[in-house]
Amino acid sequence: MVNEEENKVKTLLEDISLLESYIQELFSFTPLPLCFVNPKGMVLEVNPAFVKATGYDEYDIVGENLKAFMKEGDAEKILKEVLEKDSVKGKETVIKKKGEGDIPVTTFAKSRKIKGEGVNGAFFSFFDLTQVKEKEIEVKETNKKLEEKMEEMEKINRLTIGREVKMVELKEEIENLKKELKKYKKEE
Amino acid sequence: MTYQVTDEDINKILNAKGEVRGVVFKTDRRFIYDKAGEEGIKKVEEELEKMNCPFNYEEEADNMSFYPIGMRALSIIAISKAFNLSKEEIAQMGKNAPKFSLMIKFFMRYFLSAEKIMEKAGEMWEKHYSSGRLEPVEMNIEERFIKARLYDIDLHPILCDYLIGYFSSVIKMGVGEETKGEELACVHKGDEYHEFLIKW
C-alpha cells in the first residue's frame, strides 16, 4: 500500500517535471518577447526573446516592475486595463533597451485567472515594430518627395500652358496684323 | 574566505535531520553556471568532494526529489568557497534564487500582497524543507515591515545570510517595492530561533 502511494507520488512528480520542461521549452522557443507579471506589475517570468530584445540580464528583469522596461506610465495603464477587461490587444508603446535606444512595440496582454481565486497576474507579449516604423518613415519620405515632384511638375505645367496660350495669342495677333497690313497695301 | 567552516561544522551539518527538495540545487546550479559556466560547476563540485560530500548538480539534482537537509548548507558553503563570496554576495545569491525557482512558480499566485505571502510563508517553507518551521510573527503595513521566525533549523550561518536575501526577494515580488532584510535573532548567536525582519 505504501509502495503504491510512493509510486503514485513518483509518477506525479515525473509528470510535473515533464510538464515544467515542456512549458520552459515552449516559452524559450518563441521569438516573441513574453513575460508574466503579478497584479502589482512585478515581473515573475520572462522568456529569452524578452531578454534578447531588451539587452537586460534575466536577473535584472525578474523581480522588477514592468514599468522599469516600458515607456513611462504605459505599463501601469495597460496592466490596469488588462486586469479590468481580461485582455488588451494591439496597444502601441515603447520598450526601453538597456543603455540607449527604445523599441516601438505593439502590446498584447491577457489576464491569468485561477479558479476560485480570481486574477493573479497577466501575460504580456510584444511585437517589435522597429521595421514597420522604419518602413513608415521611408514611405513618408517617399511621399514627401513625390509631393515635391508633383508641385514642380504643376509649376512646369502652368508655365507650359501659359506659354502655349501666349503663342496662340501671338499667332492671332500676327494674323490680325497681317490682315491690317494687307488692307493698308490695298488702300495705297 | 568570509565563512569559517570546520570539520566539526561539516559533520554537524551532514547529520542534521530533515530533507530538502532538489529544486534548491537546480537554483544553485543556475547561479554557478551564470557566474562561471561549466568550469564554475566543476569548481564547486570539487569543493563538495573536499567536504566528503560529492554531488553532481547536473545528474543528481532533481527538482521534486528530497535530499538530506545538510546538503542545502553545504552547497552554499561550497559555492562561497569556490568563488570566495562575501556575506553580501551570499545574500545576493539568495535574492536571485526565487526568481528562477520552479517551486516558487507554484506559489506565484500568492505574490499579490505582503498579507498573502505572510499567510503562505509556512506552507512555502514546508514545500521546500521537511524540517524547520517558518512562522510569521508580525506585519505592519503602515510601517512597512514583516517579521518571521524560523524554528528548528541549525545548520550554518551562511544559510541565514542566504535566507535574508531570499525572503527579501519574495517580499519584494509581493509588495512591488524595494526591500531590505536583516536577521534580528539567530540560533548561531544563542537564540532559540532565527528572526528575520524585512522592510520595504
CATH of the domain at B185: 3.90.1520.10
Query: For residue B178, what is the nearest residue in chain A, using CA coordinates?
Result: A64
The dihedral of CA B35, A31, A119, B105: what is its sign?
negative
Residues A46 and A87 in one domain: yes
- Asked if B172 reaches chain A (Cβ–Cβ under 8 Å), the answer is yes
The alpha carbon of residue B163 is apart from the nearest alpha carbon of chain A, in Å, by: 16
Task: Give the separation between CA B112 and CA A40, rounded to whole angstroms.
Answer: 7
Q: What are phi and psi of A31, to 5 degrees?
A: -80, -5
Q: Is residue B110 part of a domain?
A: yes
Q: What is the residue-level pLDDT of chain B in tens, covering all 200 positions?
A: 578 899 999 999 999 999 999 999 999 999 999 999 999 999 999 999 999 999 999 888 888 889 999 999 999 999 999 999 999 999 999 999 998 887 777 787 788 888 888 888 999 899 899 999 999 999 999 999 999 999 999 999 999 999 999 999 999 988 989 999 999 999 999 999 999 999 99
- Chain A residues within 8 Å of chain B (Cβ atoms): 13, 16-17, 20, 36, 38-42, 44-45, 58-59, 62-63, 65, 114, 117, 120-121
Query: For residue A115, what is the nearest residue in chain B, using CA coordinates?
Result: B109
Residues A149 and A123 in one domain: no
Rounded mean pLDDT of A153-166?
Answer: 88
Q: Which domain holds residue B156?
A: 98-199
* End position of a domain, from candidates B55, B85, B115: B85
Q: Quote the pLDDT of residue A81.
A: 97
Q: Is residue B36 part of a domain?
A: yes
Of A38, A58, A59, the CB nearest to B111: A38
Q: Is residue B90 part of a domain?
A: no
Residues A36 and A118 in one domain: yes
Task: Give the separation between CA B197 and CA A27, rounded to whole angstroms.
Answer: 35
Going by C-alpha positions, the residue among B172, B194, B10, B175 that lies closest to residue B94 is B172
Q: Is residue B111 part of a domain?
A: yes
pLDDT digits (tens, 9 = 90+) for A8-47: 887 887 888 788 888 889 888 999 999 999 999 999 999 9
* End position of a domain, from candidates A128, A152, A178: A128
Of B62, B64, B176, the CB nearest to A40: B176
Q: What is the mean pLDDT of chain A?
A: 90
Residues A9 and A70 in one domain: no
Q: What are phi and psi of B151, to 5 degrees?
A: -105, 155
Residues B80 and B103 in one domain: no
Q: Is residue B92 part of a domain?
A: no
Residues B161 and B109 in one domain: yes
Q: What are phi and psi of B186, to 5 degrees?
A: -150, 135
Residues A94 and A138 in one domain: no
Residues B103 and B169 in one domain: yes
Q: Which domain holds residue A140?
A: 130-188
Query: Angle, nearest 10°, between helix axes B157-175 and B70-83?
Result: 90
What is the helix (H) or strand (E) element at residue A120, kind and residue range? Answer: strand A118-128
Q: Is residue B44 part of a domain?
A: yes
**CB pair distance less than 8 Å for A65 and B176:** yes
Q: What single-letter amino acid sits at B199?
A: K
Of B96, B173, B176, the CB nearest to A59: B96
Contact A49, A32 (CB under 8 A): yes
* End position of a domain, from candidates B64, B85, B106: B85
Domain count, chain A: 3
Contact A83, A122 (CB under 8 A): yes
Query: For residue A45, what is the nearest residue in chain B, using CA coordinates?
Result: B99
Q: Quote the pLDDT of residue B62.
A: 83
Q: Which chain B positions have a beta carbon within 8 Å of A39's beta carbon?
A: 112
Q: Is residue B14 part of a domain?
A: yes
Domain count, chain B: 2
Residues A118 and A46 in one domain: yes
Confidence band of A1 (pLDDT split at 50, 70, 90)? low
pLDDT digits (tens, 9 = 90+) for A48-104: 999 999 999 998 999 999 999 999 999 999 999 999 999 999 999 999 999 888 999
Residues A13 and A38 in one domain: no
Q: Is residue B62 part of a domain?
A: yes
Q: B19, B173, B175: which to substitute to probe chain A, counting the most A Cβ within 10 Å?
A: B173
Residues A24 and A68 in one domain: no
